[in-house]
Amino acid sequence: MIAKLYLVLMGSLFLSISTFALPASMQPDKPSSSPAKPGSKLYEVRIYHPTPGKYAEIVDRFRQYTTKIFEKHGMENIGYWTPTDTTNKELIYILAYPDRAARDASWKAFGSDPEWKAVVAKTEANGKLVDHVDQIFMTESDISPKVKVARKSPERIFELRTYTPTPDKLPNLLSRFRDHTIKLFSKHGMTNVGYFVTEEKDAATPPKLVYILAHPSEAEGKQHFEEFRKDPKWIAAKEESEKMGGGSLTTKVESIYMKPTDYSPMK
């Protein structure tokens, strides 16, 4: 009985050592890791339309004060841009928050902060700087690369693109980006920064696809996009997706080229 037990123990020990010594290619299979999930942050695009003659002042107020007070209240500064079309007097920026509740709490604290109230009093002594603000709330799509806040050198030009899908076609549009478009953008020299799906106020309004590309320059961005449009692989993918989807997957496409401000975390 003792001899039999000894043989069983020695056999188990031999199998453990043998398995440990096997090359990686011969080791037992391990459970595969779960696929990456989109980030859970809430992103907010804010577009400031200054009162006439106050454009430079609102841009400078963010430089000197606002971004720092945002950080103080837990808001993450992603990027600050102005349109490359200098006739378009707007300041466009993106903030990130852990979630909607955190966003609302941060803005409430920011609005009641004595430091911020003093800044407003100082900078608006001769009148309001902002006429109105447009807001877009969005979350990362599962097709998005990890959004990296980085300052590249040389400085890049960014392109903010907004796609309004044909009703009920957002899943088809995202699939086309996942399977074809993103890879073809990279092939043609465009940097995929982030892909987002909007959260609309009205439940009856379908969400949009918003994404950001980076280019060496505006001219090169337009050239690369034109080369992309003429790529036989893109033409085939577009035709096939529209055939399966019963027509165009979008009703409207908007694009704006943007230059990062000197204080933008993303450049």
61 falls within a domain? yes
Query: For residue range 26-81, what is the model confidence (pLDDT) as tens digits?
Result: 333 333 333 345 568 999 999 999 999 999 999 999 999 999 999 999 999 999 99
26 falls within a domain? no
239 falls within a domain? yes
Query: For residue range 88-120, what is the model confidence (pLDDT) as tens digits?
Result: 999 999 999 999 999 999 999 999 999 999 999
Q: With contact defined as beta carbons under 8 Å apart, do 257 and 159 qualify?
A: yes
Between CA 213 and CA 230 the distance in angstroms is: 19
Number of compact structural domains in the chain: 1
Residue 23 has pLDDT above 50, yes or no: no
Contacts of 117-122 with C-beta under 8 Å, sequence gap 24+, read 119/61, 119/65, 119/66, 119/69
CATH code for the domain of 256: 3.30.70.100
Parent domain of 53: 42-260
The 3-class secondary structure across 111-167, one letter per residue, is: HCCHHHHHHHHHHCCCCCCEEEEEEEEEEECCCCCCCCCCCCCCCCEEEEEEEEECC
13 falls within a domain? no
206 falls within a domain? yes
133 falls within a domain? yes
18 falls within a domain? no
Q: What integer pLDDT is reported at residue 40 of this predicted model?
A: 84
201 falls within a domain? yes
